Structure 1
Amino acid sequence: MKTIFVDGYNVINSWPNLKQTKDFSFEAARQILIDKLHNYGVFKACKIILVFDAHKVIGSLEKKEEVNKNISVVFTKDGETADNYIEKKVNVLGRKHEIVVVTSDSLEQQIVFQRGAVRMSSLEFYNEVLKVEKSIKIKADKNKNQHRNSISDNIDERTAEILEQIRRGK
């Protein structure tokens, strides 16, 4: 299974809709991002690790929350940036597993690439997520418009007539 590491604040500061939202509420921007990545992860059947910096929060301990089987959210510990956390994990996993790192930090992109990960800019990933959202919508609309299974689809004509007579009380 492909694993995607996402530099959370880098993405929030790059995606147009999240940039606007963060001006009012970082929490709301984080939650929107988590929701979008959840849908993406389920549709693409991949594991997403969303990493947020907490390196300036004095005394902060690393906190990891499993949202579901497709997405985990990590807040780094005091003194550790999202880049540091991602580099450490990619160093262990990079050449053994399929790893993608989403960040627009060019130095970070070079470092993770050297360690065996595929790099993707935040805007490239934004466009990828939009494509997946469109695919999900098309699939949902198609399922909604398909004929619903009814009992008459699964029984012969004679049985349907008998059931109709019973329904009408004849």
Structure 2
Amino acid sequence: MLNREDVLIVDGYNMIGAWPELEKLKLERLEDARDRLLDLLAEYQSYSGVKITVVFDAFRVPGAGAAFRQHRLQVLFTREKETADECIERLVGDMKSVRRNVYVATSDQVEQTVAFGRGAFRVTARELRLAIEEGRREIESAIRREPPPKRNPLAGVLRPDVQLRLERLRRGGTFSEEDGEE
């Protein structure tokens, strides 16, 4: 879906409200839902290589907004009197370039239309969740396919006498006359 040069801007609270697992967490404690979302997105960012920015709406919270990095994700809380939608629109304008695509993950129809009008591609909450799940399946499949590491990967490459010398060195020994030199 996305390339390594691409940027994905995620409407954080929109994802929390759209994903059943996060919606359930939100009912118990909003902070837990945010943390779980960030964990899922960080895993997806590591897998896909796409740069992810997550925007949380702090419209009714007094202050200048906040920006920080968590799990190598950029996390933004909007400024006072700024909605997540306004922040996302500003970010799309700042990040849009010829060399990369900007994607906006939200299920808000109006925000999708505005982001698309500014040159971003739309990703619904459902599409993002499916991409994350597919990435997890591919990682698990790759892990299962990998053969167990060989105890000694040089065993089939080196002559037995060279292996013996190296083993003696590994155990703290030195070469002796009986090892022979070639």
The interval holding the TM-score normalised by the smaller chain is 0.7 to 0.9
1:23 partner SS: helix
1:44 aligned partner, one-letter code: S
Query: Match for 2:114 among 111, 117, 120?
Result: 111
Match of 1:101 in 2: 104
1:152 partner SS: coil
Match of 1:50 in 2: 54
Larger Rg: 2
CA contact under 8 A between 2:8 and 2:104: conserved in structure 1? Answer: yes
Superposed, 1:59-98 pairs within 5 Å as 59-69=62-72, 71-96=73-98, 97-98=100-101
Separation in 2, partners of 1:85, 1:16? 25
Q: Which moved more, 1:84-93 or 1:111-120?
A: 84-93
Shift of 1:161: 5.1
Deviations 1:51-102 (A, max 9, x none): 0001111x22211112254x11111111111111000111233354310000
Q: Does 1:32 align with 2:25?
A: no
Check 1:159–1:118 CA distance in 2 against 1; reply closer, same or farther (3 A cut).
same
What is the TM-score with the length of structure 2 in the denominator? 0.81
Separation in 2, partners of 1:98, 1:134? 25
Identity %: 30
Check 1:12–1:154 CA distance in 2 against 1; reply closer, same or farther (3 A cut).
farther
CA contact under 8 A between 2:67 and 2:75: conserved in structure 1? Answer: yes
1:125 aligned partner, one-letter code: L
Shift of 1:149: 4.9
Separation in 2, partners of 1:18, 1:153? 51
**RMSD over aligned Cα, in angstroms?**
2.3
CA contact under 8 A between 2:59 and 2:78: conserved in structure 1? Answer: yes
Would you say how many aligned residue pairs link Structure 1 and Structure 2?
A: 165
Check 1:158–1:75 CA distance in 2 against 1; reply closer, same or farther (3 A cut).
same
Separation in 2, partners of 1:149, 1:100? 45
Gaps in structure 1 of 5+ consecutive residues: none
Q: Which moved more, 1:72-81 or 1:158-167?
A: 158-167
What is the TM-score with the length of structure 1 in the denominator? 0.86
Separation in 2, partners of 1:114, 1:149? 57
Q: Does 1:131 align with 2:141?
A: no
Gaps in structure 2 of 5+ consecutive residues: 172-182
Match of 1:152 in 2: 155
Superposed, 1:14-25 pairs within 5 Å as 14-25=18-29
